[in-house]
Amino acid sequence: MEGANAPDQFIRAGLAAMGIEVDEIDLAVIAATHEVFWPAILDLLSLDTADLEPELFPDLSQAP
């Protein structure tokens, strides 16, 4: 398996396991989506919430 093509093959195999066939356009959309959202996801995963106090009775009809 080629190094540059490994993610494409991994994605294809994972989707094929779920019965979803993809073409090059689908892979391009997946790659673009990954580039857009992954940095923000990494930021959220690294967020330290240990010093934050939970809101006991949040009013979800209003902004925090």
Q: pTM of the entire structure?
A: 0.61
The per-residue pLDDT for range 2-61, each reduced to its tens digit, is 555 787 888 899 999 999 999 999 999 999 999 999 999 999 999 999 999 988 898 999
Residue type, 21: E
Find the radius of gyration of the CA atoms of the chain: 19
Measure the CA–CA gap between 43 and 18, rounded to whole angstroms: 29
- Residue 3's pLDDT is 54
Answer for the pair 18, 12: CB distance below 8 angstroms, yes or no.
no
The answer for residues whose C-beta is within 8 angstroms of residue 9's C-beta and 6 or more apart is 1
Per-residue model confidence (pLDDT) at position 48: 94
